[in-house]
Structure 1
Amino acid sequence: MLSKLMKSKFFKNSVMYTVGSMMTPLIGFIMLPVYTNYLSPAEYGTLTTVQTLIGMFQVFLVLSLQGAVTRFYYDYLNDLNKQKEYLGSIFIFVFLFSTVSAVLLVFFAQPLGTILFSAIAITPFYYMMIGIAWLNALFALPMSLLRAQEKASSFVIVNLLKASLIMLLSIYFIVFRGLGPESALLSQFIISAIVVAILLIKQSQFLKLSFNFTYIKYSLIFSIPLLPHVASGWIIKSSDRVILEKFVSLEEIGIYALAVQVSMVLSLFYQGINNALSPRYTKLRKEEKIIEADRLLNIFFWIVIACGLLSIPIAMVGAALLSSNAYNSAIWLIPVLILGQIVKGLYFIPVAKLFYSKRTKSIATSSTIAAAVNIGINFALIPVIGIYGAIISTLGAELVRMLLIYRASKVSNH
């Protein structure tokens, strides 16, 4: 069975997707000595807070339509013309929607920036945040198409090149030019723009210039209920830093952000495997190979548990070696944050079932409740116990979300 698993396309793609997804956190680890030696905890706190908000705006600029591409791609395997028309319609819609939305966000920069930032300057950070979020929204669709096509090697190459170039340009700006946290954001903007342009040109062969409202409509019906699910992921993972900025110093945020950055390596490891799991599970179910599909989920379960427990001591040692003494207190925050990542990894299992059956409203409901729990705990505890309140809220929200989604997946099977 083990030999058969290692020869399977799922295993090979899981390895490839995991390697590709791990490039960003791995390079983040490589950059830790640069950040912690050339940026103060306050500057690092500024950088990570802005990067957190980029994720929030990206969610709404793409409307979760990357999930629709991954799901509906398989409905047109036998009609390539319709497939190209479908993909072209979605790509054009996302480009128009995200561009118009980004322009409006820039127009209202002052009032929105004042709400979002307390200690961080609106110029240049707000404008860089919107620009990168817009590019990330455009980047999401070509990458989801690579996933649907199960082109794991291309997925890895794109992520590796993008992350490596951002790292090199950031090192140049920070180390050799002596620039601050804005230089890392500038690097991300420049490289993302180049990569998005190349991807869209390369994938134009799979697209047909079209704006079929029917395709857009049923994709939105599928994806919009996923927005609370995706947004809740951002809220549980990142909103604490936005709230922390209102109650604690940027130095404390920088220390907390380092612990989160380290624990996120495990999350991206799980996401890499899920990138292979989701399309493979969908394909097996479409082919009515139920036993094989269930076995796939069982394998994923044990991967989550084993890798999660092993990562705790490794992450603590790695953080100690790669960061400066000013960040030492972050090391003892890592174990609890990793427990939250393990819970999040288990969450992918029932989501795969509900995603296949198109029961996205169940996913949205559980995610919305968990996000509300997260925000409630954050506002209740952060003013009292600071970053420890953020840690408690993250773990609590992940537990609530997992329990609710497991319950929904059990109901859907009856």
Structure 2
Amino acid sequence: MKILKDSLIYLFGELVAKALPFLLLPYLTRKFGSAGFGELSYYQTIGSLLIIVFALSQDGALTRYFYVYGKRNLHNIMLSGYLYTLFCTIIALLYAWFSQSMILAAVIVAAAAQSILGVQLAWRQCQKYAVSYTLIQIASGVLTSLLTVVFLESSEQISPTPRFAALFIGNIIISLIAYYFAQPKRCTKKGSLKILKLSGCYIIAFGAPLLLHHASGFIKGQLDRIVIYQHYPAEQLGIYAAAYQVASILSILLLAINKATVPHYYQAIKQGSLNATKVRQFARYSLIIAPLPAFITYMLPEKLFLWLLGTAYGGVQHYICLFLIGFGLTIPYYLLVNYLFYYGKNKRIASISLLSTGAYLLALFTTTLLGIAWIPLAMIIGNIVILPILFYYVREEKAA
């Protein structure tokens, strides 16, 4: 029953933490207007790309280290990862300084703070500290949301900069408090420069092969907004981005469930109660569930979404339904890819992601020529293509 209890705690925390940012959506869509919200979405995309580089899968490296090697050196893994993030942040800020771009600097520090917070969450997740994990999630969501409203209302001009400043300040404060309560003396001895260097090498060895994997995820989940920003008016991007954020409620739910179950998933594989056959079976059953949220949304009146976002966001329901299909397909993806993650098949995952990304890019540029209304199909196609490949390799892993 512990898996059910932890899942409910993680789910509750994820929902509460994301509820305030979601409640901010009507405020932001009206505050910025469709054009301004499109610009905000564009810089959020840049921030997502920076997080891939700054984080370098430190959360995954920390989790795997705990289950494979134990917790004695866990704190040094955390510290060496932070040093890497600090180095990347300084380099990026120098670029922003030379570019004389205040908004880019705000995006950079916000991305760094989110990367740091992600490591604190991973430290607790791998040790199944569901309550403290949830408290950090909620505190981050509350503080960044409050600061966003305060900064935007205090600003004379409507700009994305206050939003990213709020994300930076809120997340860095929560990260520092969380680090203080991590109590490293309980999990490791005092580290040395040599140990930190070895820990850094471990993070790079784990995370570098996954850059392609995460870059693939970025391309499939974010590149469309950059393409739209270059080819369509900002107003249309605003409608598109607002639909994505509404549909991302499903993504948040699935991510919360995945985070809650991964430790138990790994434990089940280790104990032999979960194998490749069962994983593939669960993944096949999940394909039945994937399109249901989109169908339910399609049956709702569009006036509901216009009431939520504002009258300037006409046609948003069409995009929401398509995005929900794409997000629904991540259910079998999580089930399959976590099996390969457990066995450290990072290079294989990266190769699979690369193939899927190729299919997505082809679909993206094709649908861009057809019109913006067709662009969400690229996400669906990219997520479908990766599934049979994952099915094959999970089956192969059983035979290994």
TM-score by length of 2: 0.89
Number of the residue aligned with 1:224: 208
Q: Summarize the alignment of residues 14-413 of structure 1 with structure 2, pairs less than 5 Å apart.
A: 14-77=7-70, 83-85=71-73, 87-109=74-96, 123-175=101-153, 177=155, 179-180=157-158, 181-205=160-184, 206-210=187-191, 211=193, 212=195, 213-290=197-274, 305-306=288-289, 309-310=292-293, 312-314=295-297, 319-382=305-368, 384-413=369-398
Q: Deviations over 1:114-135 (max 9, x none)?
A: xxxxxxxx73221111111111
Q: Contact (CA 8 Å) 1:237, 1:394: kept in 2 or not? A: yes
Which residue identity is paired with 2:225? R
Change (3 A) 1:389 1:126: farther
**TM-aligned CA deviation for residue 354 of structure 1:** 0.8
Change (3 A) 1:216 1:297: farther
User: What is the alpha-carbon distance in structure 1 between the residues aligned to residue 142 and residue 243 of structure 2?
Assistant: 22
Q: Which has the larger displacement, 232-241 or 211-220?
A: 211-220
Which residue identity is paired with 1:243? V
Which residue identity is paired with 1:173? F
**TM-aligned CA deviation for residue 287 of structure 1:** 2.4
User: What is the alpha-carbon distance in structure 2 between the residues aligned to residue 276 and residue 268 of structure 1?
Assistant: 12
Structure 1: runs of 5+ lacking an equivalent: 1-7, 78-82, 114-121
Q: Contact (CA 8 Å) 1:173, 1:179: kept in 2 or not? A: no
Secondary structure class of the residue paired with 2:329: helix
RMSD of aligned alpha carbons: 2.6
Which residue identity is paired with 2:347? K
User: What is the alpha-carbon distance in structure 2 between the residues aligned to residue 330 and residue 288 of structure 1?
Assistant: 46
Q: Deviations over 1:201-239 (max 9, x none)?
A: 111424544252444434433332222222211211111
Q: Contact (CA 8 Å) 1:377, 1:389: kept in 2 or not? A: no
Q: Contact (CA 8 Å) 2:106, 2:164: kept in 1 or not? A: yes
Q: Contact (CA 8 Å) 2:29, 2:242: kept in 1 or not? A: no
Q: Contact (CA 8 Å) 2:364, 2:378: kept in 1 or not? A: yes
User: What is the alpha-carbon distance in structure 2 between the residues aligned to residue 88 and residue 97 of structure 1?
Assistant: 14
Q: Contact (CA 8 Å) 2:97, 2:105: kept in 1 or not? A: no
Structure 2: runs of 5+ lacking an equivalent: none
Secondary structure class of the residue paired with 2:272: coil
**TM-aligned CA deviation for residue 324 of structure 1:** 0.3
Q: Deviations over 1:329-381 (max 9, x none)?
A: 11221111111111122101111211122212221111122223323333343
User: What is the alpha-carbon distance in structure 2 between the residues aligned to residue 249 and residue 193 of structure 1?
Assistant: 34
User: What is the alpha-carbon distance in structure 1 between the residues aligned to residue 129 and residue 356 of structure 2?
Assistant: 33
Q: Count matched residues.
A: 390
Change (3 A) 1:314 1:391: closer
User: What is the alpha-carbon distance in structure 2 between the residues aligned to residue 207 and residue 337 of structure 1?
Assistant: 44
Q: Contact (CA 8 Å) 1:262, 1:319: kept in 2 or not? A: no
Change (3 A) 1:280 1:300: farther
User: What is the alpha-carbon distance in structure 2 between the residues aligned to residue 208 and residue 390 of structure 1?
Assistant: 52
TM-score by length of 1: 0.86
Which residue identity is paired with 2:247? S
Secondary structure class of the residue paired with 2:314: helix
User: What is the alpha-carbon distance in structure 2 between the residues aligned to residue 394 and residue 104 of structure 1?
Assistant: 32
Identity of aligned residues (%): 23
Q: Deviations over 1:248-293 (max 9, x none)?
A: 11111111001110111111111111112211111122223337x9
Q: Contact (CA 8 Å) 1:277, 1:296: kept in 2 or not? A: no
Secondary structure class of the residue paired with 2:128: coil
Q: Contact (CA 8 Å) 1:88, 1:209: kept in 2 or not? A: no
Number of the residue aligned with 1:5: none
Change (3 A) 1:233 1:214: same
Change (3 A) 1:177 1:104: closer
